[in-house]
Structures are given as C-alpha cells and as structure tokens.
Structure 1
Amino acid sequence: MNKYSELREELGFAKTKQYDDDNAILTHYLQTVEEGNYGEYKKAAKQIIKESEKFQNGSSLRLPFEFDVPFPPPNNPKFTFIDLFAGIGGIRLAFQNLGGQCVFSSEWNEYSKKTYELNFGEVPFGDITKEETKNFIPKGFDVLCAGFPCQAFSIAGKRGGFEDTRGTLFFDVAEVIKKHQPKAFFLENVKGLRSHDGGKTLATILNVLRNDLGYFVPEPEIMNAKNFGVPQNRERIFIVGFRSDLDIDSFEYPAPLEKKKTIKSILEKEEVSVKYYLSTQYLKTLIEHKARHADKGNGFGYEIIPEDGVANAVVCGGMGRERNLIYDHRLTNFIPVTKIKGDVNREGIRKMTPKEWRALQGFPKEFIIEVSDVQAYKQFGNSVAVPAIQATAKKLLECLSIML
C-alpha cells in the first residue's frame, strides 16, 4: 500500500464510496492546494477531513500532500487545464507531459475512475451535466480539454446555435467555455463527426464555438495516430480554439513524423498467457464469418496484422480485438486456463494483450492496469492516442506563448 492509499484508508473512506464526489473533492483539493488553484474544493475538503475518524483526535493533515502515483501533479506547472469526459486520462497525460496541471476532471464510468485514480491520484467528479458538478470547476484555468461523445442536434429550421445544442453533451462543454472563458480549448471526437447528420452536427459545433462563444477556431483536422509514433491506423477529428482577445488568427496542426513504427515495436517481449490464443473452434467461426461477408462483397471479418504492419483502430467492442490478431509462435504451454470450445490453435494466432493495446495508444508502460481484461480493452479502446494529442497540444501551447 502506498502513502496515498494509506491516507485514503486513514480518512475512513469505505470501498462503497471510493469513487463518489467526497473522494473527488478531497483528491482535487490535495492536488491543487499548493498552487492555490482550488475552486470550491477547500471548504468542502476541510469539512470531509474534519469529520473523518483519523482527525477526530485533533491531528492535522500535512499539506501539500506528496502523491506517490505514476503521474503526480507537476511541480511548478506552466499552465492549468481541465479534463472533461476524462476516460482513463489519455488527454490529461498528454497535457501533463508538457508541464500542465489538471485542476478539474470529470468522468462518469466507475471502472475508468478507478484506473484514473491509480495513475493520477485523483478521483474525477461524476456527471458533468449536473450543475453541482460544474460548480466545482475552478476559475481562471488556461485550457479546456474534452473528448465529448458525438450526438445529433435538433436544428430543423433553426440556425444551429448554442440553444439548439441543449440536451447534448456538447452543450455542457460549450456552457463551461461560456462561463469560464479559457484561453484555449482542445476537443477530440471520432472521424465520423465530420459527416454526422449530413454535416449538420459539426457545422453547429463550429457555429457555436466561433459565433456564439467568439473563439478563433481553425478548420478541424483529421489526425491519424500512425503518423505520431504509434503503429495504429486511428483517425480522429481534433478541434482547437483560442479566445478572441488573444489576437491569435492562425494555427498549424503538427506535421506527421517521417519515421513510422510497426506492430513489432509494441509486442510484449516475453511469452504471453495461453488465454490470449484463439481456440480452434473460435478461429473456425471467424473464418466462416469472414467468408460469408466476402460472398456478399463486404470486407468485414478478422484480420491478422503482420509484424511489419500497422494495427487497425482499437475499439471497445465488436470486432475490435479480432481485427488486430497477430502470429506469435512462442507459446510453450497449450493447456487452456479458461473454458474454451476445442483446443488452443497451433498456428500461433492470438489476440493482442491489454498491455499491447496500452502501447498502441501511446501510454507508457508505467501506466497501471488493475481492471479485468474486458474492462482494460474497453478503456484503451475508448481512450486516445496520447502522442497525437501531445503533438497537437504542443502547437496549441506555442500559440499561447507558453514556454515548453
């Protein structure tokens, strides 16, 4: 147990309330107290500490608190940002790597909150659509970051403005921008946002950001992870914006790196468990499924990626794992460790492991995974390619004249 875990235990937090807003309040306060960036955390956090069993006897909490987690808040941060729809913290990691301090995070999924806390020592707040959650966002942060879900707007016969986005999660992002007026924002979404609802969704988003909120927003860019140091063909749309009073009127997205990586660079160095190898029955099912679609002229089905190839985009469900199978002939023990139909295949065909998906998304090996494989695949599939985010964040910060 590390120091942070000990503190959590001493404060009397039961497992049943491990990821509630009391924990979010306390961990946010402990992360921001030294820099004085706390918003509504201070009063609430002190009340939580006061009521805890540990401090009933008059003991005091030593501040600032030192987090012994893989990615603690930076000393002497160069800028501040908030992390909405945070997932497991891929966007946070990119901005934190550049010297930023996250002063607020929000994520509703309990499993993602667990992974986030293990790595950053912070429990994200819950539902960002709730006013009580928004009220904890501190004033004066520099950059808003959000990987918000894609939703259609009801804009028939309307101009597609701020009010037309009510009831969608983008509205909550826009509302926070409107209230807090950060210097800049970084938004990430699926490539399909560009064509979603016949292009109306993106048009509405840009109209709100540019005309209703008054930000300079260059044309969004489709960025591919494979161009920024990870062997994954993952295209996502990035949208950046700058507050009008900063007089920023141009922005260039980062150019692709010349050197591309291949699958071989991210594979585990040692033999992996037999549980990742396909059974003969499952492999037969995949082959038949692909053949049926091929007869219909479709390209659906499993795919085996060569070592010198690039992975398909990792996703949280469906054929995500089966579209990224590999050959690995290092297996020495073919005795199944899970219930399977048939035997373990002898062709060396296996799924990539969660650690390999972690590498495909550009997370460092220090990033802790303590959830089940099912949750790990889901979390990394739903996350972001960190190097692509970081390259874009660097360009954004340069526009703000933040020394890196």
Structure 2
Amino acid sequence: ISECFPAQRVTLAQLLDPMVEAKYILTPVLWKYLYRYAKKHQARGNGFGYGMVYPNNPQSVTRTLSARYYKDGAEILIDRGWDMAKGEKDFDDPQNQQHRPRRLTPRECARLMGFEAPGEAKFRIPVSDTQAYRQFGNSVVVPVFAAVAKLLEPKIKQAVALRQQEAQHGRRSR
C-alpha cells in the first residue's frame, strides 16, 4: 500500500488561497458560539467542538470534510492568528477579533479532496457554496479512490482472465 502514497506530502498551506472573501471568515457571533460550545464540552470531558487547523504548521491535519460543512464550518476552521490566551482574558478584544478563524472555500475543499492540485482552479464548480460543500463532503478523496483502483487492478484482471478461460472451456468453477 505504501507504493500508493504520494511522493511528497501536500501541506495544508499549499491547498489554501492566500486571500479569501470576507464571507468565509466566521462572524463574531458564530465564533463566540463555537468557542463557548467547545469550552463547555471540554469541561465535560468530551470532544465536541470545532477543529482548528494551523496552516503555518506543515504537520497540520484536518478533520474529515463532511456534507454538513456548509452549516458552520466547525469541523475544519483555518487559523488566522487568533490569540487563544488573549481570547481567554477578553474574547471580544477588537484586535484579536480581526484574527477570527475562517472556513475553507469550496475551491479549497476541491483541493483538499483531490479534485485539483494545489494552486489550481481547473475544476468547475457550477453550484452554490452550500451545494459545493455538500458535494465535496459526500465525495471520496480522489487520490484514495485512485490508489484503491490501482491495488484492485491485478485482482480484477485475474478474475476477468479466469472468466474468459472458463467461457472458452464451457464451464464455470466456484
């Protein structure tokens, strides 16, 4: 299976656009809700909450993109320099609020799911953001699908050859 791994691991930063529209940045109200929700569940000892990823960390890994991503983007939030310590002292600090996290754009979701390479914008997304999030969240990661197909190819060819051989000899074995 290791032969199917990419030669070089793509980092999260490579998948992201350097500038995005403001609509992808969480509103102060939504960010406060997600922040408090996560703290409440953390205090209870369970893992409910948002999934912050840090593009400057080359080892950063996202949670799974789901079809519900359009709702609040909580499972994959992109850090924009939010100061957690400052947020604990004064969540509404105006300077810190300028660094609220953002959600992925549909284009970035396409890259994350392997529909296009980092930096590309070749894959046509003819639907609304909501529909794009649903579609990408319901899809299989393209490189994973390709790797599974590559691993299955010899077995499929072997089965086809056996079928053809049985057909030539007029019998089927089971």
Same fold? TM cut 0.5:
yes
AA paired with 1:286?
L
Q: How many residues align?
A: 135
AA paired with 1:288?
R
**Aligned equivalent of 2:49, options 301, 314, 318:** 301
Partner of residue 394, structure 1: 150
Partner of residue 321, structure 1: 73
> Is the Cα contact below 8 Å between 2:66 and 2:134 reproduced in 1?
yes
Could you tell me how far 1:348 is from its partner in structure 2?
A: 4.4
1:4-403 alignment to 2 at 5 Å? 254-255=1-2, 257=5, 259-269=8-18, 271-307=19-55, 308=58, 309-317=60-68, 321-328=73-80, 345-364=97-116, 365-399=121-155, 400=157
Query: TM-score if structure 2 supplies the norm length?
Result: 0.69
Could you tell me how far 1:292 is from its partner in structure 2?
A: 1.1
Query: TM-score if structure 1 supplies the norm length?
Result: 0.31
AA paired with 1:370?
P
Could you tell me how far 1:259 is from its partner in structure 2?
A: 3.8
Larger RCO, structure (CA 8 Å, separation 6 or more):
2
Could you tell me how far 1:320 is from its partner in structure 2?
A: 7.3
> Is the Cα contact below 8 Å between 2:28 and 2:100 reproduced in 1?
no
Partner of residue 166, structure 2: none
Could you tell me how far 1:291 is from its partner in structure 2?
A: 1.1
Name the CA distance, whole Å, in 1 between partners of 2:41 and 2:127.
34
Partner of residue 87, structure 2: none
AA paired with 2:25?
Y
AA paired with 1:310?
V
> Is the Cα contact below 8 Å between 1:313 and 1:320 reproduced in 2?
no
Greater share of strand: 1
Unaligned runs of 5+ in 1: 1-253, 330-342
> Is the Cα contact below 8 Å between 1:302 and 1:324 reproduced in 2?
yes
Unaligned runs of 5+ in 2: 82-93, 161-174
Name the CA distance, whole Å, in 1 between partners of 2:36 and 2:102.
17
Deviation string 1:2-51 (CA, Å, 9 cap, x unpaired) is xxxxxxxxxxxxxxxxxxxxxxxxxxxxxxxxxxxxxxxxxxxxxxxxxx
AA paired with 2:61?
V
Percent identical residues: 34
Name the CA distance, whole Å, in 1 between partners of 2:101 and 2:33.
14
Greater share of helix: 2
